[in-house]
Amino acid sequence: MIDVRELVDYFASINVDFYCGVPDSQLSSFCDYVEENCENIITANEGNAVGLASGYYLASGKYPVVYLQNSGLGNIVNPVTSLTHEKVYSIPIIYVIGWRGQPGVHDEPQHIKQGAITLELLETLDISYTIISKETSFDDLKSSFEDSFRDMLSQGKSVAFVVSKGSFEDYKIEKTNSNTMTREEAIQTVTDFLSEDDMVVSTTGKSSRELFEYREAKGQGHGNDFLTVGSMGHSSSIALGVALNTDSKVFCFDGDGAILMHMGSLAIAGSRKPDNFYHIMFNNSAHESVGGLPTIMCDMDISSIVLGCGYNNAYNASNIDELKEVLPKFVEDNGPVFLNIDVDISSRKDLGRPTTTPVENKNEFIKKLRG
């Protein structure tokens, strides 16, 4: 196992001291340490991080580190192939990649395909890699870097550390905010207010897990809900596609990190103006599902942004009483409308995962939606 302090100290010794990326649960120790001790920018998405790192290299001449979950490889394909690649601008970047869905390691269904093609994709992108596992020592890692990576970087090539589950020793920082309402409480309150004809598209991470468990507890079934277990940042686009093709009211249960990842979707929804589109952001200003590091949502006026994108109205609730008061107005308004709900950074330790497969969930949703 690797002590992240030792790794970051080594990077500092070779003049590598800038970090950016999107947090990942398998990299949580690494991400927590660089957030607390280094120059670190948590970006909106992984492609954003590659652009930022490129600008840093152009200005400083030093190698940047970009961290991401392997699911984010899709977001970096364009800037890697058309910006940083040695046949274009030849900008060297050190990648630290959490390997979800690693073959032979149990993981959730949304990670299986990406996990299987991770190494092949890096090879296709001409990014040399070494795998960090539980058995990897710091000396092993250092040798990989010294024996080949440093020379590759000097030639303008990018390199990657692909990190298996449990490869980093624990390091955690405390993450809190001042909100009093939990996301689970907010999801339950909103769900109780919906009719049996209202459809829900819920975002990646714990929001979908909490919705699934509440439906189970109420014995309601899951036909009204499409659980977006992967494709972070695209739930609102899925919900918009549904809303434009049904008379039912469609509610998107979104997260602040997901909205930031692909904010252009707000403008598309606002421009199309479906009157049955209801967009809810459960806002803890954090990537809570993958460790709790902050987003920049707390620094933004999201209400002004969505109104500027063409939404008809924007509502806010900061506690359970405000939420109960605003829900009737929100639901009766003509879409597209937006509701920001401020929630705590927390979730139950025993929170489960959906017990149905994604295909089973899709089929139930289609049956309800088209029936």
What is the pLDDT at residue 16?
A: 94
By C-alpha distance, which of 11, 115, 129, 29 is closest to 72? 115
Q: Is 42 left (phi over 0), alpha (psi -120 to 50) or beta?
A: beta
pLDDT bin (cut points 50, 70, 90) of residue 291 is confident
DSSP-derived letter for residue 172 is -
Q: What is the DSSP letter of 285?
A: S
Per-residue confidence (pLDDT) for residue 259, from 0 to 100: 96
Per-residue model confidence as pLDDT tens digits over 72-104:
999 999 999 999 999 999 999 999 999 999 999
Pick the closest to residue 93 from 174, 11, 164 (CA basis).
Answer: 11
Residue 106 pLDDT > 90: no
Q: How many CB atoms lie within 10 A of CB 66?
A: 28
Say if CB 267 and CB 310 are below 8 A apart: yes
Could you report how far apart the first and last alpha carbons of the chain are, in Å? 53
Confidence of residue 230 (pLDDT cuts 50, 70, 90): confident
- Give the pLDDT of residue 111: 87
- Average pLDDT value over all residues in the chain: 94
pLDDT above 90 covers what percent of the chain?
Answer: 85
The answer, yes or no, to whether residue 107 has pLDDT greater than 90, is no
What stretch of H or E contains 251? strand 250-255
Tokens of 324: 């109960």
Dihedral class, residue 285 (left if φ above 0, else alpha if ψ from -120 to 50, else beta): left
The pair of structure tokens assigned to 149 is: 């990576």
pLDDT at 278: 98
Q: What is the mean pLDDT of residues 37-64?
A: 96
- pLDDT of 147-184, one tens digit each? 899 999 999 999 999 999 999 999 998 888 889 999 99
pLDDT of residue 93: 98
Closest Cα partner for 174 from 1, 366, 32, 11? 32
The two beta strands, 250-255 and 286-287, are: unpaired
Strands (E), 94-186: 94-98, 128-132, 159-163
C-alpha 233/C-alpha 235 separation (Å) is: 6
Burial environment of residue 147 by CB neighbours within 10 A (0 to 12, 13 to 18, 19 or more): exposed
**pLDDT confidence tier of residue 307, bands split at 50, 70 and 90:** very high
Give the pTM: 0.93
pLDDT number for residue 349: 87
User: pLDDT grade, residue 371 (50/70/90)?
Assistant: confident
Residue type, 234: H
Domains of the chain plus CATH, in order, are: 4-163 (3.40.50.970), 183-370 (3.40.50.970)
CB atoms inside a 10 Å sphere around CB 133: 16
Beta bridge mates, 42: 21
Output the six-digit token pair for 23.
Answer: 């947090």
More confident residue, 41 or 204: 41
For the stretch 55-77, pLDDT in tens is 999 999 999 999 999 999 999 99
